[in-house]
Structure formats: structure tokens, C-alpha cells
Amino acid sequence: MQSSHLGFPLETVAVFVVLSVGAIFIDLFMHRGNKPIPFKSAVLWSLFWILVSLLFAGFLYIHHGAETASLFVTGYALEKVLSVDNLFVMMAIFSWFAVPDGYRHRVLYWGIIGAIVFRGIFVAIGTGLLMLGPWVELLFAVIVGWTAVMMIKSGDDDDEIEDYSQHFAYRLVKRFFPIWPKLSSNTFLLTQKEVDAELVKPENSELKKSFTQKATFYATPLMLCLAVVELSDVMFAFDSVPAVIAVSREPLIVYSAMMFAILGLRTLYFVLEAMKQYLVHLEKAVIVLLFFIAFKLGLNATAHIWHHDYAISATASLIVVLVVLAVGIVASWLFPGKPDVKD
């Protein structure tokens, strides 16, 4: 069977492409309205995305063996766990921009599309850099370990609300577009004609003084929110891509694991939002996993530098990821956080 440049037969690449593209279209057409996804529906869809991922894992098991399937599942589980912390950041972003629940899945959809594109770029760069030698892998270990340390240091700042108006993405959008300060349905950009129609409304009479100049497009708060979400995810990718590369150097395994994990994030967001106070110790599990991945990367690098025989197998990595995740979830249920107090 003919092999692709990704190191796998073209049949495997085709199955991955069909599954992933099909999943994107399903996600697009199933959640098109401006209504929040109910908790029960979000749970069922999250289970559906996990099932799709396991189907691909089953295909890898049948056609490429248990080790390849184990590498995929390990990378998938690791990316899923690491993404939880990223979703909590997105909750804070949505809260700061006061994005209604019904519009959040639209921002998440385009944010996830961006994540899929940037992950592909980062995986190509990351796996390519590994060709330069083991010192690159050692650098990745330092990056992942440093992320874990910074998460520990920032643990006491959870109650502080970041001012996203100073965020680089926010300021970048303001440089290219004038800002219309109010939400206009689920629109990211408004035309001059649409802004003129808004300015005629009595409730917007005070805004006329601020919109004397004409522009082709105006960015809405939803566009600002999307820009902040996208850049935050890009920064997150600097940590998660090296972490999954620690599991496997095969680009298809790394990217497919990340891709299938990302596809379920939109519905997972609404599950986590409803259960946030019951997952208070999950971030600690993420920190432990980051230290484990940093150790694994360092072990792999030093094996090439100093020629020792110590290594962590794919099966052992999978067990560690699943056990740490399970401990974090169980600890959160046994020792839940304080319920949110609303005014």
C-alpha cells in the first residue's frame, strides 16, 4: 500500500480527513441558532465526539496495531485534559465581554476553526524542529515545565479579573477597525450602512458624536472577543503541541489526536461551565501532567544525548494520563469548591 509523506498509508490519511471534515460539518449544522446549548444536549454531544475519536482509534488498532492506537488515545486524552484549562480561560473572556450564552457557541465555533488551522501549522513546525536534534526536545521539556510552574504561581490570582481591553488582540483589532460598542445580534462586523441604521435609533443618540468618520466595516464586541479567544488559544498551543509531541513524533498521530480533541470542545465548554465548581482540582491534575510530560520529553532527549536506555512506553504514558485525570475528577467531587455567590 502506498504511503503518504506523513508516514502512514494514504488510506489512513483519507479516513482521518473524511472523519474530521464530516465532524466539522456536523458541528456547523447542528448548532446554528442563537440559543445556548442545554446541559443534557452538551453532555450527549460530548459523548458523541468521544465515540468518533474512539472509532478512529479502533481503525488505527486494526490497521496499525495496539501501540499506534495507544499513542493516539494518549495524545487525545492529554490534549483534552490540557484544553480544560483553556476553556476556563474562555469562560473568563466571555464574562468580561458580557457575551450572552446564546452567542458563545458561535464564537467558540470560529475559535475552534482557528485552533484547527493553527494546530496544523504548529505540529508541522514542531515535528520539523525535532529533526534538528535532541536539544530541541529538551527545549520543549523546558517550555512545558515552565508552563506548569507558572500555573502554580498564578494559582493565587484566580479571583483577579484580567482587563482584556489591554490585550494585544483587542488593541490589534482597534488598529484596523473602528469599534461599535454594542452587540448587534451575532455579527462580528458591521457595515457603514448597518451602523447608520443603528445611529438613527433613539437609544443610540449619544453615540452619533463618536461616529463622525466613515468606515467600510466596524468591529463589534463579539469580534473583539473572538480575537482575544483566538490569540489566547495560539498561546495555549505553544504548551499543548510540545506536550502531545512528547507522546509521538508522527505528525498524523499528533495532529489527529489534537484535532479530535478540539472538535468536541464547543459542547464540552457548556458541560464545564455548568460543572465548574465541581472540577476545582482538575487544574492541579493538569499541572501534574505537564510536569510528567516535561520529564518524558527530557528523558527522550537525554536518551539521545547520553545514550541511556530509560524510556516511558506508550502504554505507561496512557495509564499515567488516565489515572491523573481520574484522581483530579474524583478529588473535585469529594472536595468541591464553594458555590458561586451571585448578587
pLDDT at 157: 56
User: For the chain, which residues score pLDDT lower than 70?
Assistant: 1-7, 31-34, 155-161, 337-343
User: Max alpha carbon distance in the chain (Å)?
Assistant: 75
Which pLDDT tens digit goes with each residue over 183-195?
877 889 999 888 8
pLDDT at 318: 83
Q: Fill in the DSSP letter of residue 190.
A: E
Please identify which residue in the block is written with the cell numbers 448597518.
194
Cα–Cα nearest to 78, from 314, 308, 298: 314
Residue 138 Cα distances to 126, 142, 174, 270, angstroms: 13, 6, 39, 37
The pTM assigned to this predicted structure is: 0.83
Distance from first CA to last CA of the chain, Å, rounded?
A: 64
Residue 208 Cα distances to 176, 213, 249, 263, angstroms: 20, 10, 57, 42
Q: Fill in the DSSP letter of residue 312.
A: -
Instruction: For residue 340, give every residue at least 6 positions away whose Cβ sits within 8 Å of its Cβ, in sequence order, or none.
Output: 277
Written as one letter, the residue type at 219 is A
The alpha helices in the chain, defined as continuous H runs, are: 10-30, 39-64, 66-97, 101-129, 134-153, 168-176, 192-199, 221-245, 251-263, 265-275, 282-306, 314-334
* Cα gap 292→71, rounded to integer Å: 16
Contact 141, 301 (CB under 8 A): yes
* Cα gap 264→277, rounded to integer Å: 21
Q: Fill in the DSSP letter of residue 285.
A: H
3-state secondary structure of 86: helix
pLDDT at 51: 92
Cα–Cα nearest to 258, from 71, 118, 93, 119: 119
